């Protein structure tokens, strides 16, 4: 039984039109109580014009879309009421729906209903939220590939291959009398595991690149005071966001800005110059700089072109083992330049080489923008897990571990593959075997 839920699908603001959505088993019954036409005999998707009323009280003249399940987003009977976009009206419609038996939808409940009715798999359901939050055209494109099922297709070879070997082992264990069935020997298991490990490695690599495009990255600008960190932030953003002066310790709080670099959303953090400071406020700012330094994906470590001293050496220690781009600012002040260093002049807005260096660090190719990839952190983590299990299986085969233990490891890996799609709850190994072999016919 799926209760009928109601929610506003458009922003809660005054606008030309608003959409109130309902979905659930009693949807048509409930809406018929406050709509001028009876929907209970609706057999196919239809567009209706009519009036929303609570008894004699006229609320609005609306257009109503009635979706007969399963031909709806959720897979259930659903209604979209397109009303005039006054908060007084759409709130009243929602209240009336509640009065007649609907309840307010919780966050993401429409998508989870669509998942429950098999309209979307878990990856697709998750991509809806990503799509709504996408901040660049390129990110949106990747999210759409996930929503329309292209990304899910990447899982299929893994699912099929692990499902095949699992079924083969099970059938060898449980039905030894079926002589015509291929033997699940260790060479076969090794071959399948090696093939899938390679495939997963590629999925993870592409997924990490996809994740950069989908979610963007965080870059912190660090260095000692006065090297031009704030000037670099302003030049990258092309606006005067951070205060620039020749007074050391000008930047105290972290200053944030967003930029779109070749379709990648970059969250930039300009930080307080790092040095020993007796000033209480500056010291807190420096603490924040150190925290940002830890949590950022890339560090822009800024030095002056004409001066490198002990304070800079301290900064170098801080960024050791980090994903760092070293930038030499104020190139306008020097004539002699080392060919292996990245020079810029924030003052002259001469920072193109820095943008190129960031792009190079991201290592994105056209393929990463155009092709689907498993770009969710959660999903990448699961892939990593599956890979580790398969690597363990390889070791176990070498140690001549009994087949039923290997079988249970492979089953765990297979369940993890299914969990990517949210299919792990109703997994039935017998069904898998029957779908592949005509055992017990
Ligand atoms: N000549 C020159 N001066 C710069 C350049 N970038 C910044 N400055 C100057 O250096 C001083 C410190 O700059 P600021 O961006 O506040 O440095 P921060 O303390 O690292 O944030 C200011 O007087 C800037 O005008 C540059 O590329 N060339
Ligand atoms: Mg500054």
pLDDT in tens, 389-429: 999 999 999 999 998 899 999 999 999 999 998 888 766 66
Which band of pLDDT confidence, cut at 50, 70 and 90, is reported for residue 430?
A: low
| Ligand 1 mean position, distance from CA 86 (Å) | 51
Q: Which residues pair with 326 in a beta bridge?
A: 301
- Long-range CB contacts for residues 99-103, cutoff 8 Å, separation at least 24: 99/54, 100/30, 100/33, 100/34, 101/4, 101/26, 101/29, 101/30, 101/33, 102/3, 102/4, 102/5, 102/6, 102/22, 102/24, 102/27, 102/30, 103/3, 103/4, 103/5, 103/6
Which ligand number lies closest to the CA of residue 307?
1
67: exposed, middle or buried (C-beta count within 10 Å: 0-12, 13-18, 19+)? buried
Which band of pLDDT confidence, cut at 50, 70 and 90, is reported for residue 5?
A: very high
Distance separating alpha carbons of residues 79 and 24, to the nearest angstrom: 9
What is the residue-averaged pLDDT of the chain?
92
Atom index in ligand 1 nearest the CA of residue 302 equals: 20
Is 29 in a helix, a strand, or coil? helix
The per-residue pLDDT for 440 is 42
The per-residue pLDDT for 80 is 98
Cis ω on the peptide bond leading into residue 173 (within 30° of 0)?
Answer: no
The tokens describing 98, both together, are 């509640």
**pLDDT at residue 437 above 70?**
no
| Ligand 2 mean position, distance from CA 256 (Å) | 12
Q: Give first-to-last CA distance, the chain, whole Å.
A: 35
302-311, 315-324, 346-355, 418-427: which has the minimum mean pLDDT? 418-427
pLDDT digits (tens, 9 = 90+) for 31-49: 999 999 999 999 999 999 9
| Ligand 1 mean position, distance from CA 232 (Å) | 8
| Ligand 2 mean position, distance from CA 330 (Å) | 14
Which ligand number lies closest to the CA of residue 224?
1
| Ligand 1 mean position, distance from CA 320 (Å) | 25
pLDDT digits (tens, 9 = 90+) for 165-197: 998 888 888 777 666 667 778 899 999 999 999
* 96 in Cβ contact with 34 (< 8 Å): yes
Which ligand number lies closest to the CA of residue 225?
1
Which ligand number lies closest to the CA of residue 245?
1
Give me the residue label for tokens 């399940």.
Answer: 69
Atom index in ligand 1 nearest the CA of residue 329 equals: 27
Q: Select from 26, 2, 1 the least CA-distant residue to 100.
A: 26
* pLDDT, average across residues 275-280: 88
| Percent of the chain's residues with pLDDT above 70 | 95
Give me the residue label for tokens 């330049």.
Answer: 337
Which band of pLDDT confidence, cut at 50, 70 and 90, is reported for residue 1?
A: confident
Residue nearest to atom 12 of ligand 1 (CA): 226
Q: Which residues line ligand 1 (CB under 6 A)?
A: 223, 225-231, 244-246, 250-251, 273, 329-330, 332-333, 345-347
Question: Which of 223, 225, 226, 334 has the most ligand 1 atoms within 8 A of CB, as the residue to mutate?
Answer: 226
Please state the pTM of the whole predicted model: 0.81
The tokens describing 13, both together, are 């603001």
* Ordered domains of the chain (ranges, CATH): 5-116 (3.30.1360.120), 154-210+376-436 (1.20.120.430), 222-357 (3.40.50.300)
pLDDT digits (tens, 9 = 90+) for 76-97: 999 999 999 999 999 999 999 9
Kindly give, in sequence order, each residue whose CB lies less than 8 Å from that of residue 217, ignoring residues fewer than 6 positions away. 264, 265, 266, 267, 297, 298, 362
Distance separating alpha carbons of residues 230 and 94, to the nearest angstrom: 49
Residue nearest to atom 7 of ligand 1 (CA): 228
| Ligand 2 mean position, distance from CA 306 (Å) | 18
The per-residue pLDDT for 181 is 64
Residue nearest to atom 13 of ligand 1 (CA): 228
Atom index in ligand 1 nearest the CA of residue 243 equals: 16
The per-residue pLDDT for 185 is 83
| Ligand 1 mean position, distance from CA 261 (Å) | 23
Give me the residue label for tokens 């020749």.
Answer: 246
């Amino acid at each position: 039984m799926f209760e009928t839920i109601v929610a506003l699908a458009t922003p809660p603001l005054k606008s030309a039109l608003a959409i109130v959505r309902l979905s659930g088993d009693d949807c048509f019954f409930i809406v018929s109580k406050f709509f001028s036409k009876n929907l209970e005999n609706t057999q196919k998707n239809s567009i209706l014009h009519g009036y929303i009323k609570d008894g004699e009280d006229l609320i609005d003249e609306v257009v109503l879309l009635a979706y007969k399940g399963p031909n709806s987003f959720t897979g259930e009977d659903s209604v979209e009421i397109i009303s005039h976009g006054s908060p007084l009206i759409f709130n009243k419609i929602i209240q009336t729906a509640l009065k007649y038996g609907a309840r307010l939808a919780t966050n993401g409940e429409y998508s989870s209903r669509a998942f429950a009715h098999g309209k979307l798999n878990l990856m697709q359901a998750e991509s809806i939220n990503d799509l709504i939050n996408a901040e660049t055209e390129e990110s949106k494109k990747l999210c759409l590939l996930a929503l329309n099922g292209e990304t899910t297709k990447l899982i299929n070879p893994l699912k099929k291959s692990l499902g095949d070997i699992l079924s083969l082992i099970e059938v060898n264990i449980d039905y030894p009398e079926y002589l015509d069935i291929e033997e699940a020997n260790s060479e076969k298991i090794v071959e399948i595991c090696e093939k899938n490990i390679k495939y997963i490695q590629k999925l993870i690599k592409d997924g990490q690149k996809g994740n950069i495009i989908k979610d963007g990255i965080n870059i912190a600008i660090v260095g000692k005071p006065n090297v031009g960190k704030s000037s670099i932030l302003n030049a990258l953003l092309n606006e005067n966001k951070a205060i620039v002066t020749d007074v050391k310790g000008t930047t105290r709080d972290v200053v944030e800005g967003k930029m779109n670099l070749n379709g990648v959303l970059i969250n930039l953090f300009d930080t307080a110059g790092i040095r020993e400071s007796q000033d209480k406020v500056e010291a807190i700012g420096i603490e924040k700089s150190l925290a940002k330094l830890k949590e950022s994906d890339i560090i822009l470590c800024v030095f002056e072109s004409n001066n490198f001293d002990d304070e800079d050496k301290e900064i170098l220690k801080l960024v050791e083992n980090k994903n760092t781009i070293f930038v030499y600012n104020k190139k306008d002040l020097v004539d002699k330049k080392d060919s292996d260093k990245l020079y810029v002049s924030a003052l002259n807005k001469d920072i193109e080489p820095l943008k190129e260096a960031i792009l190079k660090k991201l290592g994105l190719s056209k393929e990463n923008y155009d092709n689907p990839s498993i770009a969710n952190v959660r999903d990448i983590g699961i892939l990593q897990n599956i890979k580790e299990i398969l690597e363990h299986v390889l070791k176990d085969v070498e140690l001549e571990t009994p087949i039923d233990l290997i079988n249970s490891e492979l089953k765990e890996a297979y369940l993890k593959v299914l969990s990517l799609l949210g299919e792990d709850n109703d997994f039935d190994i017998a069904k898998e075997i029957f779908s592949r072999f005509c055992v017990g016919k």
